[in-house]
Amino acid sequence: MQVSIPTENGVLAAKYAKQAAANQQYKGHPIISFPVHIQAVPAGTKTLAFVFYDHDAIPVGGFTWIHWIAANLPADTTLIPENASQTGAVTMVQGNNSTAGGYTGETDLKVTQHYVGPYPPDQDHDYTFKLYALDTELPLQPGYWLNDFYKLSADHILATAKTIVVGKK
């Protein structure tokens, strides 16, 4: 299985990150999700899921920052188009990102249960997008937590693929 995200000179395009224009942000957060290309999903896959996270946030905030999680995408998905997080262009159940925890105090579901783009405060960060091919549909509701996904998917992962993109400071 393969997954890719378009970049500009090896960097995530500005409109998907902190350099986004004001009209591409909501409450100070870049919310237009990037397109994702998916290839060679294994036979037997019933659904796809993904996690987009930032391990480079650990020295800054003390934990890996979750920017976007979703599950139960159709197995035949080959493209998650730009802004699918907000438009619903692809069927998916979106979970909570790190703005949903008590760390930020944010409660707006448009922010907490959708894509929130990279916003590295200290230096360029490497952001990981990990795709999962699953042999089942998971019993998840909107706003699920990442740990719930890990528990429910543990015995159902057929394959994974990942890509890393750079987000500019």
Give pLDDT tens digits for 13-29.
999 999 999 999 999 99
Which of 126, 123, 150 is closest to 138 using CA atoms? 150
The phi and psi torsions of 55 (rounded to 5 degrees) equal -70, -25
What is the pLDDT, as a whole number, of residue 101? 78
Whole-angstrom Cα distance, residue 129 to residue 54? Answer: 9
pLDDT of residue 96: 97
In this prediction, residue 77 carries a pLDDT of 98
Average pLDDT over residues 46-53: 98
Is the CATH number of domain 2-167 1.10.10.10?
A: no
For the chain, give every domain's residue range.
Answer: 2-167
- The reported pTM is 0.95
- Is the pLDDT at 54 greater than 90? The verdict is yes
pLDDT tens digits for 60-84?
989 999 999 999 999 999 999 999 9
